[in-house]
Amino acid sequence: MPRPRLRHRSVRLWMLVAFVAVLAAAPVQPDLTMSTASFAETTENTSSKAAETRAAPATASVAQSRFPWTIGGAFFIGAVGAIGVISILTANGAGKTERPANPREWSKTDVANAVSVLGTELAKIAGLFADGSSKHARYASALTEMEDKIASVQTPEQLRAIANLLAAENHRMRVETQSMARALEDSQNQIATLRTSLASAEEEVLRDPLTGVSNRRAFDAALRAEVNAASATEQPLSLAMIDIDEFKAINDRHGHVAGDSVLASVAQLLAGHARNGDSVARYGGEEFALILPRTESTAASILAERLRQRLMAERVHVEGVPIALTASIGVAQLRPAEGADQLLKRADRHLYRAKELGRNRVVTTGT
């Protein structure tokens, strides 16, 4: 008879070991409570009311710790947080963002402050992950310790005590992980705000403040990019250079305020009639540029002629005085193995040829 009791006791011990293994891997603590209760009922048929009373707080404690985190889960959350921060820092900012009230007022001090804020947030994030790593290690150590204690479990009360310890560790891990998540969210918000401000400032640097279209810096970058794309895909690319005729006379006769109004009106007309994918820029002074991807010289000349006629029909009113406008336009199409500088020089030559021929016209060549 002793051997059957020993065998039965051995089976019970293995059941306890298997139970704790499931407990360490299970993501939901209420399952632990039910398993403990079920195990107690099957192994002790004569449990006292006092033992049941002692078990009730343990059951409540475990039931309140509904937190689906294991060590792997905690590291997974940490990895998700890291990916969120990296995406904030590297993304190009799809969607609309509000611009600062005075984006052009960014100074060297502003930039230095922005760099300082970014450094602080990155250091904070690194500290959070370092702290989180040590806490995860402590949690793993606690689980290992509980696993060792299971070998000496003899009664349901001892099992409940282990369950209570695990519930307490789980609860603390939940609180600490939630605190880490809040801190990461705060850093993400700081970085997102900074990124929005920097993106707006960068956009303003590439925009002509008077006309609202791209400036020379943006034009140079856009032309190089379009030339590279056209050469790689063997698609046509044309460039139109547009110069307002007799602009100096307009300034001399009507004043610089009128000249500014003329420049703004011309820019609005060009931007309003540009096709999707075209780039409009103020090249300098009274000269504008129009980059026309996937457009051969013939189609570019037709578009330029339409713009010239629309501009000639335009009247800019300054203090009730209508100002008539005309423009000279030079058009060139990108040649094989040609770079951005060569294309720009040819379009400029055609523009000056239009001036020499009497202004208010479009000059182009086949290729």
Active site residues: 286
Strands 327-333 and 237-244: antiparallel
324: β partners: 315
Q: What is the spatial distance between Cα 325 and Cα 360, in angstroms, rounded to a whole number? A: 9
Query: Cβ(34)–Cβ(59) under 8 Å?
Result: no
Find the angle CA(172)-CA(174)-CA(177) to the nearest 5 degrees. Answer: 105
Q: In whole angstroms, what is the distance from residue 68 CA to residue 301 CA?
A: 67
SS3 145: helix
Residue type, 174: R
CB-based burial, 111-131: b 16+ in 10 Å, e otherwise: eeebeeebeebeeebeebeee
What lies within 8 Å, CB to CB, of 221 at 6+ separation is 206
Other C-beta atoms closer than 10 Å to the C-beta of 228 total 12
The residue among 185, 38, 57 whose CA lies nearest residue 124 is 185
How distant is the alpha carbon of residue 74 from its chain centre? 24
CA-to-CA dists, residue 305 to 53, 311, 330, angstroms: 94, 10, 10
Task: Give yes or no for a contact between 366 and 269, defined as CB atoms under 8 angstroms apart.
Answer: no
Q: Rounded to whole angstroms, how far apart are CA atoms 28 and 48?
A: 28
Interstrand relation of 362-364 and 327-333 (parallel, antiparallel or unpaired): parallel
Spell out the residues 6+ positions from residue 256 whose beta carbon is closer than 8 angstroms to its own: none
